[in-house]
Structures are given as structure tokens and as C-alpha cells.
Amino acid sequence: MDARRSVVRGDLLVEGGRIARIGRGLRAPRGAEIIDCAGKAVIPGLVQAHVHLCQVLFRNHADGLELLDWLSQRIWPFEAAHDARSLGFSARLGIAELLLSGTTSVLDMATVRHTEAVLEAARVSGIRYTGGKCLMDKAGQGPLGEPTAAALRETEALGRKWHGAEAGRIRYALCPRFVLSCSEELLGEVRRLSAEHGWLIHTHAGENRAEVALVRKQTGRDNVSYFDSLGLCGPRTVLAHCVYLSPRELRTLARTGTSAVHCPGANLKLASGIANVPALIKAGVNVALGADGAPCNNTLDAFHELRLAATLHLPRSGPRAMPAAEVLAMATIRGATALGLASEIGSLEEGKAADLTIVDLTAPHCQPAGPDPHATLVYCARASDVTDVLVAGRPLVRARKLLTLDAGALAAQAAVEARRVLKRVTT
Ligand SMILES: [Zn+2]
């Protein structure tokens, strides 16, 4: 996924956590561990620029609803019922799914309380994590609402403690939930903290028609215009969804370098609509990819999102609207750009961090191989084809087995843990 989308047949040498050499017939240094990748594709570790690890435990418990009802009737009461134990479990379960299916980096939005349980799960798992506490201070947020000053105090303390932890593998992001949950005072302070510390701003915008109408009613503006009027748009800002954007908002995203995250699986399941990704890309907006929450998708499988992103836009925009290589870029180099990590990850280039996903392309559903391996990866490959995953050169998945967490035990225990949380829910 370099600028020329080069495809190399050969070897890749990892040293000191970085890609040291790429080429044909490389000699392995003495004592090096060798992973035989015959028949496999070695690709940049997949990047998902919008997920909610805190919601993974609510998978299969929030189906059949549209966004605003889904939030107020299910997700907010569920999130409010979390304790640190259930939240940590939810995050570990989600990270296990992500790593086993080839995602090495996420931009996450935690919930309002117990954020350290998510950061701790990220720390022990080895995943490359950017995320932070969810901010909700406006009146009417139910059990998740917080006083403005308390929310800001906690998020700044968390950012100061965690940003840059684990040799930079963990980074902090300011996460105001969306316009409808946040006061203007809070958003102004988010802008100030982001400028002061260099932390990303991760939020939602233009996901659903009813949401856009409410934003207009409350602020007199559209989502992006409102954020821009508060100085929130810019290269450190990442907006999930962007399904409903006016032409003016589209131009604002391009002008300010604000990233958009396409979440087709979630947008379809919540019946939100389909973002006009070809128009965003044509306008020069950086578009990344994300699965969003497990209860609105209901999977965190990046290959599912890749296939949707590659196929959804064909009828509207012509058969060449979304070439496979450009779709794969959304889940790699464009995701890395959204996270501010394009010089570190997102492509296989010498000197970059060795975040690698290895995909077996020998199964019947990937054969016969065609001339473009990007197409095989985007149209044919599945999560279960991922055999090995490395982050900064550290193997986290080997031969389809997760090394840092007990994925089997997490799955077996999930129903019990979910029952424990759902029992506490007060709607
Ligand atoms: Zn979301």
C-alpha cells in the first residue's frame, strides 16, 4: 500500500520491531524466526478507524432498531450498567475478534466510566490502540450524563497518563459522543486539549436522518458546519459515518483535512443509509473504514467491511468507482492517515513498524488466483483466512492462535458476563 500500490513477490525481514528489508531472496540472519508465507499474502495490519470495544458484550442484544432508539433504549442503558470487570471483558473479547481477523490498529470510543479497563485490555493484548473516554455532558443523556467539568477533568487525566504508553502503541483520543450529547463549552475545551496535547478528536457525524434533523434544530447548522464553527475540524479530527453531508460540509472536510470513516456494515444494519464514498474521495477527503460497534453490525470483521465498501457503491457511481486496491487502502494507509500514523504504519515499507497481517489465499473460495491480489483480498478473502498477525514485530497471532489472550475462554464466558451486566440495566 505504498503510493504506487506496489505488489512484491519475495521476502520481508523484520528487525527490532520494524520492517528492515523487502526484496527477493533475502537471507535470514542467524537465529531469525522464519514464517513460511508460501501461498499467502503479507499485507499491512488492517486499521479500523471507528470501533466501540465497550459494546462488544451487547452483541445480539440490540437488533432491529434505528440509531436513536438503538442508543436510548439499548446502548446507553447497557453502557451505564458496565462495571470495570465487565468493561474489561468486553474490550478483551472485541480485541480477540479483531486480532484473529487481521485488524492490528483501532480508533476506539470507550464509554463514560471505567475507561482504564479498556486501556488495560489494549495494553495486555498487544493491539495498537488509540481511544479514550466518551464525553456526554448535555442535559437528557440519562445515566451516562456527566457534569462538564468532571468529564473534562477525567479525560485530561487519562490522556496524560496513557498517551504514548507501551512505547507509543497506546495513544489517547478525545471522544465527544456526538453533537446531541455535548455542550458547546465541552466541545470548545476538547478543541483546546487536542491542540495542547496533540490528541485526536474522535466523534460521530451525519449518521442518520433523524440525528441530522435534531442537530439542525438544536444548533441551526449541519454537523460538520457546527464542528467547523467551533474550530474542531482539522487533520486530528476523525468523523465516523458521514452518511448525510451537504455539499458544503463535504468541501469543509476536504479543506480542513478532516477524516471520514465509512462504516457500511453498521449503516446497513441500523438502516441509516449509505455514505457517498466516491464523492468524498473525489472531493479529496481521507476516508477510512470501521466496523463500529458489535451490536450494530454485528461483527468486527474488517474483511466484511472491505467487501461491502467495494461492492455497495457500484450501481450508483459506475463500475470503476471503488477499485479493490483503493478499498484496501481505506483499511490500511488511509486508516493510518486518519490516526495520524501514516509515517509509522499502513503500508509495507522499509523503516515502518512491522504491523503485519498474513492471509492464506490457497482455500477454494480464493482460487483460482487472478492478476490482482488486491481483488482477491477484498472480494474473496475471509477473516478465517488470517493465519498470523504481528504488531511492531511482536507475534500476536500464530497459526490462527491468539497468543496474548485466551480467545476460547473469552467466548465461552461471554454469555455469563453479558447476563451479569444486563441484569443491572435500568431502562
Ligand atoms: Zn460509533
pLDDT of residue 413: 96
pLDDT of residue 317: 56
Residues 350, 21: Cα–Cα separation, whole Å: 6
Write the CB contacts of 32 (distance below 8 Å, at least 6 apart in sequence). 13
Predicted pLDDT at 320? 60
CA dihedral sign of residues 140, 143, 147, 152: negative
How high is the mean pLDDT in each 10-residue block of the chain (427 residues)?
95 97 94 95 98 96 87 90 96 98 98 98 98 94 93 98 98 98 98 98 96 96 98 98 96 98 95 92 96 94 96 67 93 98 98 98 96 96 98 98 98 95 81
Residue 366, phi then psi, degrees to nearest 5: -110, 0
Q: How far is CA 171 from CA 64, 158, 159, 180, in A?
A: 34, 10, 8, 26
* Distance in Å, CA 50 to ligand 1 centroid: 6
Distance 21 CA to ligand 1 centre (A): 38
pLDDT at 426: 66
pLDDT of 68 reads 87
Instruction: Please give the pLDDT value at position 142.
Output: 84
Separation of CA 273 and ligand 1 centre (Å): 15
How far, in Å, from the CA of 217 to the mean position of ligand 1?
22
Ligand 1 geometric centre to CA of 69 (Å)? 14
Q: 209 C-alpha vs ligand 1 centroid, how far in Å? A: 15
Indicate the pTM of the whole model: 0.97
Interval between CA 290 and ligand 1 midpoint (Å): 9
> What does the domain layout of the chain look like in residue ranges?
46-338
Question: 302 CA distance to ligand 1 centroid (A)?
Answer: 15
Which CATH superfamily is 46-338 part of?
Metal-dependent hydrolases (3.20.20.140)
Cα separation, 61 vs 389, in Å, equals 30
Distance 78 CA to ligand 1 centre (A): 15
With CA atoms as reference, report the closest residue to 410 among 330, 257, 294. 294
**Nearby residues of 401 by Cβ (< 8 Å), 6 or more positions away:** none
Length, in residues, of the chain: 427
- For 73-82, letters b (16+ CB in 10 Å) and e give ebbbbbbbbb
